[in-house]
Amino acid sequence: MVVSHNRAECLRRCLESLENSEGRETIQVIVVENGSRDGSARLDADFPKTQFIRLPKNFGLTKALNLGWRAADSAYVFFLHDDCEVAPDAVLRLAEALDAHPDAAAVCPLLVDAEGRPAPQFGSFPPDGEYRPAEVSGSDPVAVEFPRGAALMIRVFVIKAVRQIDEHYGQFGADADLAMQIRRASKKILLLPSVKVRHPGKQGYSATERADFLLSRAVFLGKYQGFGAGLRARLGAVLGPLIGFRFGELKNTLAGQKIDGTQL
């Protein structure tokens, strides 16, 4: 499933790559169209085998992910960012890996850039907004802790076990939370180095997005390290933009306002 907001050309390339997937007739493709105003919703005419869920405004990534996985009729759901392009064998090979490794809760491909080099993919706990490329040799599956959610296939029952992806997160934080839930359940996330997905990534973020990340980090710390850690992170989310004169961020972090307009 793909969540998209105002990136029609990226979404088109993503869906074209999915249409070329091996076993396409067995793959349910769902797009959660997050209130775009750039014509993304009209792509349904070009991709009639894709299910589009149209939202009236941008509800942020986390809520859109929950709407998407609930609409899926499958034991596995492949979360994919709209700026990703998959190799023809990627989807089936990820599913086969989950079939072959019952101790794995999720699998991810190797993210690569336009030149085929490993792209920033792996974060740390607590999330700091920084990702590092994979450092792997060989093609065997490797256990990893926190792959970014740009391309992640997960067993649906893992999400159902925690009821849903925590909607206290807005645009950021959902992938870190899922990875932590899997870690706490003593399950694995496997990286398949031989399965590649192109992901150029985003160059820079808006003030609203940066504020959303700071608030999501505070949610994560409060949830997993206690109220005091979360409170300190909330204070830091206000003081950091204030000291740095980043008043666009400050407006939202002071109000606790996520990217969808709701407040923590």
Q: pLDDT tens digit string along 35-60? A: 898 988 889 999 999 999 999 988 88
Number of domains in the chain: 2
Classify residue 261: in a domain, yes or no.
no
Give the model's pLDDT for residue 93: 97
Looking at 166, 198, 230, which one is the last position of a domain?
A: 198
Domain hosting residue 233, numbered range? 207-255
Residues 134 and 66 in one domain: yes
Residues 116 and 213 in one domain: no
Contact 216, 252 (CB under 8 A): no
**Does the pLDDT at position 78 exceed 70?**
yes
Residues 184 and 117 in one domain: yes
Residues 131 and 186 in one domain: yes
In angstroms, the CA 95 to CA 81 distance is 18
Classify residue 224: in a domain, yes or no.
yes
Residues 144 and 29 in one domain: yes
Give the model's pLDDT for residue 261: 67
H helix or E strand, kind and range, residue 51: strand 51-55
CA dihedral 6, 9, 10, 16 (to 10 degrees): 130
